[in-house]
Amino acid sequence: MNTIMRKSVLSVAGLAFAGGMFAGPIAAHANPVVDAKPAAVAVQADKPDTAKLIPHGTQGDQSRITLDDEQVGNAKAIIAATKKAGLPERAAVISIATSLQESKLENLGHLGDMNDHDSLGLFQQRPSSGWGTPEQITNPEYSTTAFLTGLKQVDGWQDMPLTQAAQTVQVSAYPDAYAQWEQQAA
């Protein structure tokens, strides 16, 4: 890397270059680099290994929906709760795919006549089945933690296809439906 390019990169990062060494934050009186071309700085975010996220490959046709801000926020809440629980990224994929199937990542309250029994929240958990109170179930962190607690009780969930792990926790009338969301969840 040539000297001008190096100085440009360092000045963008807020560091001064002096005598071949980094000198720390640039002082207010430092001279800017003149006639330097802007440096392109590539920052690569940590991307999880697809083999860890989808270890069995996807099963069947995959569905995909465009997420609004609320849905993205709910997906982030699921990821945060999974990290807080100390579980691997695969648990987040299973959780997000389950929520995509159950509620399209929408934190649903009681839907009146359209409600499936007393199902609520991201995972359509039921107070009458012991998942928690309606207030708890409609709290994304709580409902995710409740789902993850159930997942951890499934022997070998880490090695199961997503749909089998999700179904063991959820006990859905449509057990194979979770698989269609695996790619988007990952």
- Of 4, 28, 7, 29, which is closest to residue 16 (Cα–Cα)? 7
Using 50 as the pLDDT threshold, list the residues of the chain that sit under it. Answer: 1-44
pLDDT at res. 16: 38
pLDDT at res. 115: 56
Are 64 and 132 in contact, with CB atoms under 8 Å apart?
A: no
pLDDT at res. 34: 45
pLDDT at res. 33: 41
Residue 45 makes CB contacts below 8 A (sequence gap 6+) with none
pLDDT at res. 174: 86
Kindly list the structural domains of the chain, giving each domain's residue range(s) and its CATH number in brackets, ordered by start. Answer: 52-181 (1.10.530)
pLDDT at res. 155: 96
pLDDT at res. 144: 97
Is 165 exposed, middle or buried (CB count within 10 Å of its CB: 0-12, 13-18, 19+)?
A: buried
pLDDT at res. 48: 64
pTM of the shown model? 0.69
Listed as own residue / partner, the contacts of 139-145 with beta carbons closer than 8 Å and 24 or more positions apart are 140/74, 140/77, 140/78, 140/81, 140/107, 141/77, 141/80, 141/81, 141/84, 144/77, 144/78, 144/81, 144/82, 144/95, 145/81, 145/84, 145/85
Are 39 and 3 in contact, with CB atoms under 8 Å apart?
A: no
